[in-house]
Structure 1
Amino acid sequence: MKLNYKLQGDGQPIVFLHGVFGSLDNLNMLAKDFVQHHQTVQVDLRNHGNSPWSDKMDYQAMAEDVAELCHDLQLKKLILIGHSMGGKVALQLSQVIPDLIENTVVIDIAPIKYQRSANVIILRVLTYCLANQITDKKQIMDLMRQEGINDAIILFLLKSFKNEHWLFNIQAINEQYGHICDWQTISPWLKPTLFIRGGNSPYITDQAYTAIFEQFPNAKIEVVEGAGHNIHFEKTQQVLQLLHNWLGD
């Protein structure tokens, strides 16, 4: 699948991979910092942004999409930076294009299987809006608030609502959400891997450390205190400092 992407700058390439319901702009606050000394590649994963839609959405398929893009752009010595679902795609790429990857950074996700989580509520509202052809932004916001979805998440979701149309594929994400939560254990990957954990986030727990180090023996885990799941939004400067320290920039 030919993914939509934004390419900027020169130097060692960094590929940025967003989370579910996101788009290539979600990691823009990181990419715009690194574009001074790197070639940055911001990607819309399948069923998101301006990339094609598909009924299939497991990590092997998503990783193969990104691998195809990397081959098309002739990228080498890659640095991968992925948040949440995009972090799992980055980890899966270690099995797909191992010779092209030099370093991987994963923001607030672990190589484990998750339960359906709070996104179930979001999917229920989105599916309801889709089925009932609700395209009024205020009505959508009211429905989300009634379900207890906070305003920060609502504003994040609405970034992908353009011209009365959702840029992400609600039906496919809903039907494939079990695959998005899932993870198939991989053989140990020995290259450097940084995991950045939000101190207030439930996504990387102490119990997940075993799975991390079994699959990524040379991993390092950094905790950003006071941050939730969207660490790069909440604590941008701290995340950038961790990235620069890790990458030696």
Structure 2
Amino acid sequence: MELSYQDIGEGHPVVILHGLFGAAKNWNSIAKQMARKYRILTVDLRNHGASPWTDTMSYVEMAQDLVEFLDQRGLDKASIVGHSMGGKVAMTMALKSPERVERLVVADIAPVKYPRMAFKSYVEKLQSVDLSTVSRRSEVDPLISDVIESSAVRAFLLGNLQSTKDGLRWMVNLETLGREMDSIGGVPAIRMDAKYDGETLFIDGASSDYIQSSHHQLIRHLFPNVQFHSIADAGHWVHAEKPHDFMAALNDFLP
């Protein structure tokens, strides 16, 4: 699979993976600043952005997409940074192909099942919008506000609408996302005796509950060489809410 990506800077390669409903473009600001020191490759995961759409998107499949991505770029190894869903992809890749991961950074996600079903209702609401009746994102916003109450979340989701000569279209594969939502919220299919012994950093937003102290034992089991770093006054989108603190943590950790 040929994933869409952006590639800037020179030096040690760092691959950045977005979360659910995200895209490589969400990381443009951080990528530009990090590119002063590193080669930054921001990737659209399958069924997101400009990457191909598929009927399935298990974490094992997405991790293999990344291995193939490195092969296509002629890279033996890279450091992998993943947020939320992208963090689970990064963990899966590190555990299944540890020889390809120089260092691992996981942002505000743990290798556990999350019971939240909000994203499933979001997908259903977005699917209910008849795009043939609207011409601008601003017209879609009030149509989804009854289910998606947060204006910030609506703005983030509506960033996936692209204007074409035939009208608006979604840049995310809502059909597959809806069908695979339980898998996306679940635990990657990894053996419990698997380990990634490379240097690992888990970053959490102090105001987020995605990484809890009760998760630390499992994280240490899978990633014995782990450090934990919490960023104050930040929630789940820690890189967007506190970009300077987030980049400082990356710069201190990456080679």
Measure the CA separation in 1 of the matches of 2:210 and 2:105. 15
Q: Which residue of 2 aligns with 1:180?
A: 184
User: Could you state the TM-score of these two structures normalised by the residue count of structure 2?
Assistant: 0.91
User: Structure 1 vs Structure 2: percent identity of aligned residues?
Assistant: 34
2:220 match: secondary structure: helix
Q: Which residue of 1 aligns with 2:240?
A: 233
- Summarize the Cα distance change of 1:149–1:121 in structure 2 as closer, same or farther, 3 Å threshold: farther
- Any conservation in 2 of the 1:196–1:221 contact (CA below 8 Å)? yes
Uncovered stretches (5+) of structure 2, i.e. residues with no partner: none
**Counterparts of 1:144-163 in structure 2 under 5 Å?**
144-163=144-163
RMSD of Structure 2 on Structure 1 (CA): 1.6
1:204 match: secondary structure: coil
- Any conservation in 2 of the 1:21–1:48 contact (CA below 8 Å)? yes
Measure the CA separation in 2 of the matches of 1:75 and 1:134. 46
Deviations 1:78-125 (A, max 9, x none): 111111001111111113432121101011101111113421331221
Deviations 1:148-199 (A, max 9, x none): 4311111111211011111000010000111111113441211111111111
Q: Which residue of 2 aligns with 1:204?
A: 211
1:189 maps to 2:196? yes
**Counterparts of 1:72-111 in structure 2 under 5 Å?**
72-111=72-111
Q: Which residue of 1 aligns with 2:252?
A: 245
- Summarize the Cα distance change of 1:46–1:234 in structure 2 as closer, same or farther, 3 Å threshold: same
Q: Which residue of 1 aligns with 2:49?
A: 49
Task: Report the residue type matching 2:93 in the other structure.
Answer: L
- The runs of at least 4 consecutive aligned structure 1 residues that moved more than 6 Å come to none
Q: Which residue of 1 aligns with 2:169?
A: 165
Q: Which residue of 1 aligns with 2:230?
A: 223
Measure the CA separation in 2 of the matches of 1:70 and 1:125. 36
- Any conservation in 2 of the 1:185–1:215 contact (CA below 8 Å)? no
Measure the CA separation in 1 of the matches of 2:44 and 2:133. 25
Q: Which residue of 2 aligns with 1:19?
A: 19
Task: Report the residue type matching 2:61 in the other structure.
Answer: A
Of stretches 222-231 and 177-186 in structure 1, the one that deviates more from structure 2 is: 177-186
Uncovered stretches (5+) of structure 1, i.e. residues with no partner: none
Once the two structures are TM-superposed, the CA of residue 237 in structure 1 deviates from its matched residue by 0.6
2:250 match: secondary structure: helix
- Summarize the Cα distance change of 1:110–1:6 in structure 2 as closer, same or farther, 3 Å threshold: same
Measure the CA separation in 1 of the matches of 2:254 and 2:36. 14
Measure the CA separation in 2 of the matches of 1:70 and 1:149. 39
Measure the CA separation in 2 of the matches of 1:148 and 1:102. 39
Task: Report the residue type matching 1:28 in the other structure.
Answer: N
- Any conservation in 2 of the 1:196–1:223 contact (CA below 8 Å)? yes
1:213 match: secondary structure: helix
User: Could you state the TM-score of these two structures normalised by the residue count of structure 1?
Assistant: 0.93
Measure the CA separation in 2 of the matches of 1:117 and 1:226. 25
- Summarize the Cα distance change of 1:135–1:174 in structure 2 as closer, same or farther, 3 Å threshold: farther
